[in-house]
A = this chain, B = another copy of it.
């Protein structure tokens, strides 16, 4: 018996930086979320900084684009999540006082559930954003326990591990994958970030819904390749192309996730961890769940 059937959707799209584009970026996410919900998705994951675009030239420009968690993007997403009865994850440029964060919000049918602030900052993000100060929280929801990570985070295997040992049933991965040491793609058309997603999923027995953006922005070329992995780490459906708006779908369920770790009568991955020799929770200061 499956106790919680999720149909996940990883949305790949192409937001553009510039204040003149901000409303268009938001409207496009609403279109794509609606399309995913029409197809039966009840967990929709959008890329990183999807309401503002990515390539800020200056700190001032980032401030001009940023919104608080009570701002119009989260409001619009919340209304749509409520009306469609879905859960939704997306990346925003978050303003908190004078601090800017590269943030992922988790919204359910009853409103904002929580948020995660990107811990590992990539390239010029370091000139704009404050490193995340909320640890690696896992949120209880009606469809299961959801962990969040953002882009460069997955280069640090500790992140998915810390989400998994805290009981995440699914990890939502919110991305602007943009460059790795060449080659950018292998003969199968996959970028290294797709493999990082697959292996993080595999070694933790947790599905990952990874939405990346596509397109180009101020000379930066994004890599697409959005994908959803099963508990075995392999793509559960197609890996998106490097170009173009698209939505990748896959079914997930709690029974599969919570049973998946057992490999044979003598091995399961969590049991086999040698926490006598290493322990990612040692030194971990713990995540802070968003107050409801």
Residues on A facing B (Cβ under 8 Å): 119-124, 126-127, 131, 135-136, 152, 155-158, 161-162, 180-183, 186-188, 192, 195-196, 198-200, 202-203, 231-234, 260, 263-264, 266-267, 269, 272-280, 282-285
Q: Are A266 and B188 in contact (CB under 8 A)?
A: no
Complex interface: chain B residues within 8 A of A284 (CB): 277-278
Q: Are B280 and A119 in contact (CB under 8 A)?
A: no
Residue among A155, A182, A260, A273 with the most chain B CB within 10 A?
A155
Q: Are A123 and B274 in contact (CB under 8 A)?
A: no
Q: Are B183 and A234 in contact (CB under 8 A)?
A: yes
**Oligomeric state, in number of copies?**
2
Complex interface: chain B residues within 8 A of A131 (CB): 274
- Considering only CB atoms, which chain B residue lies closest to A197 in the complex? B199
Q: Are A192 and B199 in contact (CB under 8 A)?
A: yes
Partner of A196 from the list B127, B202, B279 (CB cut-off 8 Å) is B202
Q: How far, in whole Å, are A279 and B283 apart by their CA atoms in the complex? A: 6
Q: Are A123 and B266 in contact (CB under 8 A)?
A: yes
Q: How far, in whole Å, are A1 and B274 apart by their CA atoms in the complex? A: 40
Q: Are A126 and B266 in contact (CB under 8 A)?
A: yes
- Considering only CB atoms, which chain B residue lies closest to A190 in the complex? B188
Complex interface: chain B residues within 8 A of A152 (CB): 267, 272
- Considering only CB atoms, which chain B residue lies closest to A160 in the complex? B157
Q: How far, in whole Å, are A186 and B235 apart by their CA atoms in the complex? A: 10
Separation in Å of the A250 CB from the closest CB of chain B? 16
Complex interface: chain B residues within 8 A of A264 (CB): 123
Q: How far, in whole Å, are A131 and B272 apart by their CA atoms in the complex? A: 11
Partner of A278 from the list B124, B263, B280 (CB cut-off 8 Å) is B280
Q: What are 11 A-B residue pairs whose CB atoms fall within 8 Å in the complex? A: A120-B272, A180-B232, A192-B198, A192-B199, A192-B233, A195-B202, A196-B203, A199-B199, A199-B200, A275-B283, A276-B285
Complex interface: chain B residues within 8 A of A123 (CB): 264, 266-267
Q: Are A274 and B120 in contact (CB under 8 A)?
A: yes
Complex interface: chain B residues within 8 A of A280 (CB): 158, 278, 280
